[in-house]
Chains A and B, each alone.
Chain A
Amino acid sequence: QITLKESGPTLVKPTQTLTLTCTFSGFSLSNGGVGVGWVRQPPGKALEWLALIYWDDDKRYSPSLKSRLTITKDTSKNQVVLTLTNVDPVDTGTYYCGRPRGRLIDYWGQGTLVSVSS
């Protein structure tokens, strides 16, 4: 059974760095072809893809956020970490991690709501 769960702060101040962790089970990032991705959703708005990391450490980022995003993996812990620097209130939203099948996310975590406010 594949599960993913996001964790991290619920409130972050503007200009700070947001660090989110995706802890998963039922698959391994040491297996070929496997990856983990992040998608976010501002309140009442559409989904926005952020980043992907694959088993071979291939990383892909949203161009609009690339300068602020970093995605890393810890294969031994079954975790993927996403950091977003210099946050702004527009970064408020629910952040989801998911397991892609190729580039298509077929399993999603429940999401974690992050608010950016002073």
Chain B
Amino acid sequence: DIVMNQSPDSLAVSLGERATMNCRSSQSLLNSINNKNYLAWYQQKPGQPPELLIYWASTRESGVPERFTGSGSGTDFTLTISSLQAEDVAIYYCQQYYTTPLTFGGGTKVEVK
């Protein structure tokens, strides 16, 4: 199984400031044939199901604000919220869909400082 590790476990950021979180996979998620990274980011607010934010490591899902940016390739990935808004308080999960079993990271909890 591909193991996904996220860091930090939690971070507190002031409103309007940048939030950065990381995700590392135990093997490369880059498909050399199509040059795509099979890495997604989800946002989960309390009592709600996850919501897809980013796929192919850097493609925003339709309707996702531009302040959310995904980057990285291979085994190291980053999700950045450029200017934290109150509604961004949530847990963020990375997930690999390169192969089954699909696996998720442990999550990064984002709070307002």
Instruction: Give the B-binding residues of A (Cβ under 8 A).
Output: 37, 39, 46-49, 52, 60-64, 96, 98, 102-106, 108-111
Give bound CA distance, A61 to B101, whole Å. Answer: 7
Tell me which residues across on chain B come within 8 A of A111, comparing CB atoms: 49
The SS class assigned to the A binding surface is: strand
Q: Smallest distance from the beta carbon of A59 to chain B beta carbons, Å? A: 10
Known: A46-B93, A47-B93, A49-B101. A63 touches B52 (CB 8 A): no
Q: Is the CB of B101 within 8 A of A104?
A: no
CB nearest neighbor in A for B52: A106
CB nearest neighbor in A for B61: A106
Q: Is the CB of B50 within 8 A of A103?
A: no
The size of the chain B interface, using a CB distance under 8 A, is 23
Q: Is the CB of B61 within 8 A of A109?
A: no
Give bound CA distance, A23 to B52, whole Å. Answer: 21
Give bound CA distance, A96 to B97, whole Å. Answer: 17
Contacts A46-B93, A46-B105, A104-B95 known; list 11 others, CB within 8 Å.
Answer: A39-B50, A47-B50, A47-B107, A49-B104, A52-B102, A62-B101, A96-B50, A105-B52, A106-B61, A108-B49, A110-B49
Q: Is the CB of A60 within 8 A of B106?
A: no
Q: Smallest distance from the beta carbon of B7 to chain A beta carbons, Å? A: 14
Q: Is the CB of A103 within 8 A of B107?
A: no
Q: Is the CB of A48 within 8 A of B49?
A: no
B44-57: contact bitstring with A at CB < 8 Å (1 yes, 0 no)? 10001111100100
Q: Is the CB of B1 within 8 A of A96?
A: no
Q: Smallest distance from the beta carbon of A3 to chain B beta carbons, Å? A: 12
CB nearest neighbor in A for B44: A47
Tell me which residues across on chain B come within 8 A of A63, comparing CB atoms: 1, 101
B103 interface neighbour in A49, A104, A108, A110, Cβ under 8 Å: A49
Tell me which residues across on chain B come within 8 A of A46, comparing CB atoms: 93, 104-107
User: Taking the complex as formed, is B21 at the interface, i.e. its CB lies under 8 A from any CB of chain A?
Assistant: no
Tell me which residues across on chain A come within 8 A of B40, comparing CB atoms: 104
Give bound CA distance, A109 to B93, whole Å. Answer: 17
CB nearest neighbor in B for A66: B101
